[in-house]
Structure 1
Amino acid sequence: MLTSRRKFIGALSVGTASTFLPAVTLASLRGKGKKADTRTRIILDTDTATDDALALLMAVSSPKLSVEAITITVGNVGFEQQTKNALYTLEVAGKSGQIPVYQGSARPLTREVHGTATYVHGSDGMSDSFFPDPKQKPEKEHAVDAIIRLVNANPGELTLVAIGPLTNVALALLKEPAMAKKVKGLYFMGGFYKFYGNINPGATYNAWVDPEAARIVFQSGIPITTVGFDVSVKSSVFTDEDYAQVATLGTKYSDFFMKINRIRRTYCKEHQKMKGSNHPDAITVAAVIDPTLVTQSVSRFVDVETRGELTLGALTIDELGVWKKAPNATICVEADEARFKKLVFDTLKIS
């Protein structure tokens, strides 16, 4: 059984999967002369394109976060291009070679690759900016193995921030179910609360790409917080006035932001009835940086539709408790737009 499971997991992915001092003495030695590190330690799982790149830039630039690893999952554009986008964003942030990037699964758990969202992000995922190849290369270790290794080595200390489909996280749970109890929490960019979908009327992109993976994660017992498409539409839209303000900053970060959002900005205005571009991945990371940015949330039981003809990938929220199951997710309902935009502008002013 174990052998067949390993073969199953391997087929779904692109890679392979002394003397002791008393504890009090070790603790005192570690802490002596050092200031306590209060940063939130995260693994950022991403299908890096335009909005993911902003989220990544915010995460690695925040003094409140320690990004321990970046893992690449199936999603927005070609898998190798997503990897290059993440590595190049690290280069823009001045972090090249400082944070490891691991490639994960290039396809969903059981489905064929869905295609890409180049219509939103451009053919390179960065609004056809065609940046040069990054200097840093991805690690040889598979993302799933890296997630398991890091979580096992740091039980209760790592938060997973999933701003793409949940394939890598689900594969890690299939390979090591006990990992669920060792994860501090998981933030997922996906779903919505009493709103509408962006890929079909009931579903949003990240859950729709791999609904089986999303269902495994939501049933795992990991403490989950969702930041949905609705929150991004209400509280993360950068208008023409915001873009004009970004353009005046004159920094490396602001120039990067303007370049990578050219196609996304037009798409959101013309096809999604917005006054500018929304940034769901960035507001998810913002909620990790500053949890008080979430001004309203609800705890509900959530399951994922995997067979619906019209609602594949929908995060089904049991609002009235008809399933009589304990809540398994905290759903962000409202967020502070002004504070989100301040976080973005504070990031874009850095360099």
Structure 2
Amino acid sequence: MAEEVEGKTPERVRLLVDNDTGIDDALALAYLCACDHVEIVAVTSTPGNVTADQVAANNRALLELCGRPQVPVLIGARKPLQIPLVTTEETHGPQGVGYAILPDPGALKSGEAPDAIDFWIDAARENPGELTALLCAPLTNFALALRKEPRLPWMLRKVVIMGGAFYYQGNTTPTAEWNTHVDPHAAAEVYAAYTSAAQQGLDESKLPIVCSLDTTERFEMQPQFVNELALAAGEAEEHVRAVDVEGTRSTTLNPLIRYLSDALRFYFEFHRAYNQGYIAHVHDYFAAGVAAGTLNYEVLPANVDVETDSKLLFGTTVADFRGLWGKPNNARIVSRNDPVQGFAELKEKLARMARNA
């Protein structure tokens, strides 16, 4: 039976965010910064869309733009567990945020910040049952954290993963989703750890909520969203059109609208280049809304595993919804969501923050 969750502004949510920023990661992080009830305890930077150092630079600059410069930005792993790192500048631009330009925050100095993995473990130990982990990147850092502290599933309040594709076409190979394909060994370790935790009696409410392509690609942003956002923020019209010359830049004076417009334009152009239309799948925003407790969705429990041996199916996620493997459920997979409600929520929150930018 599906578990249904109605999105509403809940009690205060404390988040550990792990991302590989990334255009949709940036949109998700900006949204979380705009939520008054959300405390971002830290943002950890995982290599994926771009290198870990570039991810961290993007995160620091965006947090500054969104009025959250005090949030720690940390780096853990700088490569996948067993395979070489493959980045995707063709999808997200050379710096990971499309055409957007932000001031360079400078590199993190050696010793300036603690290791991301140690930080997560210490934070979970000091705040048992209080922290939600939002994982919008390859699962490298989380796998390493589980290696060092196998009790993390009990310590965290909730875990939300953006990754995988089940009864759906992959976006990296015919069957594999990007985050999982970058480090499938890490993803396999994470799901194995939760199988073990379930066998030890972990409550099903603490199993990861998995936002796979099956439902994240329903969050298909149309280019008119940018103009609607600008108008809602009290700004002049901000059109991003399919007929525009590629690489056209925003001229708005509002720094947040300009950033989002230039980032999303690149993403629209990328999707068009791959015959998906002048649209943008904003996967990580949906996962952020699940973690923040503001979006509607339903989940179905399953046991999830990841293929790491087959050349043909490398990085493919497989879900056993019927217990055919004889293993306990180790995840709750989102089976339904509400993009209309989700985009209305996104526009309202970002417009309010942009008015104060």
TM-score for the superposition, normalised by structure 2: 0.82
Corresponding residue for 2:306? Answer: 304
Gaps of 5+ in 2: 1-9, 195-205, 236-253
One-letter amino acid of the structure 2 residue matched with residue 304 of structure 1: V
Match for residue 261 of structure 1? 264
CA deviation map 1:184-234 (0-9, x unaligned):
221000113411110111110111111111111112226100111221221
Shift of 1:68: 0.7
Candidates 268, 285, 290, aligned match of 2:288: 285
Matched, 1:106 2:78: yes
1:181 and 2:154 are equivalent in the alignment: yes
**Contact 1:161–1:187 under 8 Å retained in 2:** yes
Shift of 1:179: 2.3
Deviation at 1:40, TM superposition (A): 1.4
Separation in 2, partners of 1:230, 1:272: 18
Which is further off, 178-187 or 333-342? 178-187
Query: What pairs with 1:148-159 in structure 2 (closer than 5 Å)?
Result: 148-159=121-132
Asked whether the equivalents of residues 92 and 98 of structure 2 are also in contact (C-alpha less than 8 Å), the reply is yes
Cross-structure match for 1:142: 115
Of 207, 213, 226, which residue of structure 2 is paired with 1:243?
226
Higher RCO by CA contacts (8 Å cutoff, separation 6 or greater): 2
Query: Structure 1 pair 107/135, CA: closer, same or farther in 2 (3 Å)?
Result: closer
Q: Which amino acid aligns with 2:30?
A: L
Pair 1:47-2:20 in alignment? yes
CA distance in 1, matches of 2:114, 2:165: 34
Q: Hey, what's the Cα distance between the residues in 2 that align with 1:130 and 1:292?
A: 30
Q: Deviation digits for residues 250-276 of structure 1, max 9, x if unmatched?
A: 343222210111211111123151451
Q: Do the aligned partners of 2:124 and 2:155 also contact (CA within 8 Å) in 1?
A: yes
On the 8 A contact 1:193/1:333 being kept in 2, the answer is: no
Match of 1:133 among 90, 104, 128: 104
Cα pair 1:87 1:137 within 8 Å, conserved: no
SS of the residue 1:160 aligns to = strand
Q: Of 232, 246, 267, which aligns to 2:216?
A: 232
Is 2:101–2:259's contact at 8 Å kept on the other side of the alignment? no
Identity of aligned residues (%): 29
SS of structure 2 residue aligned to 1:299: strand
1:59 corresponding residue in structure 2: 32
What CA RMSD, in Å, does the superposition of the two structures yield over aligned residues? 1.9
**For residues 247 and 291 of structure 1, what CA distance do their matches in structure 2 show?**
22
Q: CA deviation at 1:110?
A: 1.4
| Contact 1:193–1:331 (Cα < 8 Å) also in 2 | no
Counterpart residue identity of residue 299, structure 2? S
* 1:112-148 Cα deviation digits (max 9, x unpaired): 11x2110111101111334221279574211011011
Provide the C-alpha distance between the structure 2 equivalents of 1:321 and 1:231, rounded to a whole number of angstroms. 22
Q: Contact (CA 8 Å) 2:209, 2:299: kept in 1 or not?
A: no
Shift >4 Å, 4+ stretches: 135-139
CA–CA separation in structure 2 for the residues paired with 1:244 and 1:219: 44
Q: Tell me if the contact between 1:184 and 1:223 (Cα under 8 Å) persists in the aligned partners.
A: no
Cα distance, 1:54 vs. partner?
Answer: 0.8
Whole-angstrom distance in 2 between the partners of 1:135 and 1:83: 10
